[in-house]
Each structure stands twice: as structure tokens, then as C-alpha cells.
Amino acid sequence: MEDLFSEAAERSLERTAPLAARMRPRTLDEFVGQRDVLGPGTMLRSAIELDALSSVILYGPAGCGKTSLARIIAGVTMAHFTELSAVSAGVKEVRSAIEAARDRLGQSGRRTIVFIDEIHRFSKSQQDALLHAVEDRLITLIGATTENPFFEVNAPLISRSRVVSLSPLTDDDIREIVHEALADTDRGLGGRATLATEAEDRIVLSAGGDARAALTSLELAASVAVIDESGMRHVTFEHVAEVTQTRQLAYDKSGDVHYDVISAFIKSMRGSDPDAAVYWLARMIDGGEDPKFIARRMLIFASEDVGMADSQALLIAHAAVKAAEFIGWPECRINLAHAVVYLALAPKSNAAYVAINEALTEVRQGPARAVPDHLRDRRRPGADEYPAYKYPHGYPGATVEQQYLPDGLEGTRFFRPGGE
């Protein structure tokens, strides 16, 4: 009787679940996107189909299919599937799952797959609790995370697993998912809603590669559309615009997107492309990046990449730093854009950057070298016996030939203007 009630409750939950949950793919053939890691013949797909999966950590942005893939594995594997959430589970729950896996393996020989969503939220002690079970293959771990596992997951756990990187879904992938939701009469909106072309474009654009966001937008837009005499909801651009007022592109202030965008920003300025540099600046502004961080990176760039080719760039970048500190958002975006365009268009030279790096290498790896006697402080005892120092201002053009580098480095050139 309890099983009947449980099944009825499960069916009721499926009917009332959000569209994004109802439209989760049930098989690998229904899974959309990630063809490079899940396409026919790939290692991961073969391992899933052969039910020979080893421990993996699925790493990718929200809405790219990590949880859906884990649910598919749960549906095809002969192993027992246990799902935990790092948000609510602790060491006690982890150890309980491991002990149950041990009993299951000993009594029936059945393997156990443990899926942990948001595994990056586990503390070090919680992750450590998994180590021996994963190493001894008592369990097969599937971890899902939006954060770079090489930073957020313990190295010993990483070494015992395979990291699978999933990408944001493409616009074509999102369109395919939306079309399937509109065609499916059982789980989706088939026979109950239509979608105008411009409305579809708006959903795809606002989703930013997130299938969950796209299906949520579709469901909300359909809910506000008027039902006609035939019971059909005709979703227009206005309906979608009402429920997707702004698009928030993926951005994190300390994770991979943060580093990828700042890298693209620097490389665009180095490549003398002001349009690209301003675009990446806008991405950081829209993502809520600290303006002082952006300005500091520009200050470094002014010496590292513009350098002696235009020393005025350092002053411009320093002014941007002061503007970021004094003015802040939103007005300092204008100051930053001013400096970005100047730095992107400025002539480039990394001669000073190369010079200090090569000099540091010599200092750190070369022998200890004494200061030449004629350059030493004349106030020290015995200085009267040192060779005479030639004062450059006493010579024509304020220059005079004498040794300035330590013995053994005579003639060495650290600074080479123009990349000589």
C-alpha cells in the first residue's frame, strides 16, 4: 500500500514539476549538446553504455546538463544509484552511503554509484570522507560542480577521478531543446502553445547557453499568454520580453569566467583591438566586477605591454585607477573606457618587462656578484683606495664610458629597445 501511495505521489510531482524538470532527457539519445564528450564513440558515452563508468567529476556552467547526465546514468546502470546534495548532506550522510555500499557489495555483489551535486560546497573533511571509498572502488563517484574542480575539490579526490568539462550549450542546442518542449504532448507544451519566431530568438538570446533558463522562460511566457478558443496559447515576443527583462551572461568574480574574461580583455588591448577591449570591459561591468581590479590590471598593462613605446600610457592608466577609487560605478565606466581605448591604440613595447625579468633571473640564478669598487659608497672605510668614479655631468653630453655592471656581466644587455 505504501508503494502505491509513493508511486501516486511521484506521478503527481512529475505532473506539477517545472517544465525544465519534466523535459530532462531520459536517454543519451535525448541528450542535447556536449557532442565532443558524449557523442557516439567517445570514451564517456561508451563507459555509460557498457555500464563501466569510473569516478568522474562533471564540471560546467549552470544548465549545461550535469544533473541530467547523472540521471541518465542512474537510469541505465545496473549499479545502485545514491544521490546526495552537498548543500544538505554532511559527513554523516556520506559515511552512511559508503557503509550501505559496503553492505550491498558484500551481500549481493552490486556496485554503488554516488552522485553528489554541488560537490564544490563540500568541506575538506567531507571530501576526505570519500577518498578511501573511491580509491578502493567501493563506490563510483559522480560529482557535479560549476566551480573549477582543480581549485575547489581536493587534489587527492581529483587524482582518483576523471574531470569531464562540459561547455555552455550553443544557440542551436537551446533551439532544439525549446522545439522539443513545444512538440512533446506528454511532458512538454505540445498541443497547448505556439511560439513566434522573434519570441524564440529572445528566449535563445536570454538563455546564454542555459537550458534550464530557456525552458523556464518558455514556461513563464506561456503562462501569461492568453488562451484562444481552441485552448492554445500563442506566445509572442512581448510575452517573452515580459518574463525575461534582462539577460545576465555568466560571470563570476573569482572563478573561471572571471579569469577568462580578464585574459581576453588584456589580450585584446595587447592586440591593439579597441572594439574587443571595450566589449570585454563591458562584460566585466555588467558582471559587477570591482572597477579597482580592472583599473589595476590596466596599470600593469601600461608598463608591461605599452612600456617605453608610450610612457604617457602609464599616466593615463594611473588616472583610471584614481577614477575607479574616487568615482566608482557607474560613472567610472567612462574613465575606464577612455583609458582602455588609449591603451589598445598605443604603440606596444615589452622591453622594460623583459629587461626586469631577465635581470631577476640573473640575480636569482647567477653567482653573487660584488658592486664594482668605483661604484661603492665613498663613506665606507678604505674608500680612498677605490678607483675614481667618473661623474657623468662633468663630461660632454653627461655621459662617460665606465663599468656599471658587476664583473662577469660586462656587455650584457637586459634592456633592448624595439625587441633587439
Instruction: Domain ranges for the chain, please list them.
Output: 34-165, 171-243, 256-345, 364-419
What lies within 8 Å, CB to CB, of 335 at 6+ separation is: 319, 320, 323, 324, 327
pLDDT bucket at 1, cuts 50 / 70 / 90: very low
| pLDDT of amino acid 271 | 94
Amino acid identity of residue 410, one-letter, is E
The conformational region for residue 408 under phi > 0 = left, psi -120 to 50 = alpha, else beta, is left
* Cell digits of residue 344: 589598445
Q: Are 13 and 6 in contact (CB under 8 A)?
A: no
Biggest alpha carbon–alpha carbon distance for the chain? 109
**Distances in whole angstroms, Cα of residue 110 to Cα of each of 49, 53, 76, 77, 105:** 17, 14, 14, 11, 5
Q: Are 299 and 320 in contact (CB under 8 A)?
A: yes
Specify which residues 322 forms β-bridges with: none
| pLDDT of amino acid 2 | 45
The yes or no reply on domain 34-165 and CATH 3.40.50.300 is: yes
CATH of 256-345, one of 1.10.1520.10, 1.20.1110.10, 3.30.230.10, 1.20.272.10: 1.20.272.10
Q: Are 350 and 415 in contact (CB under 8 A)?
A: no
| pLDDT of amino acid 54 | 87
The yes or no reply on domain 171-243 and CATH 1.10.8.60 is: yes
216/243 Cα distance (integer angstroms): 9
34/27 Cα distance (integer angstroms): 14
pLDDT bucket at 317, cuts 50 / 70 / 90: very high
pLDDT bucket at 8, cuts 50 / 70 / 90: low
Position 329 pLDDT exceeds 50:
yes
pLDDT bucket at 4, cuts 50 / 70 / 90: very low
Position 253 pLDDT exceeds 70:
no
How much is the mean pLDDT over the chain?
A: 86
pLDDT bucket at 337, cuts 50 / 70 / 90: very high
pLDDT digits (tens, 9 = 90+) for 101-119: 899 888 888 888 888 888 8
pLDDT bucket at 247, cuts 50 / 70 / 90: low
| pLDDT of amino acid 325 | 86
| pLDDT of amino acid 334 | 93
pLDDT digits (tens, 9 = 90+) for 11-59: 555 567 899 999 999 889 899 988 988 888 898 899 888 888 888 899 8
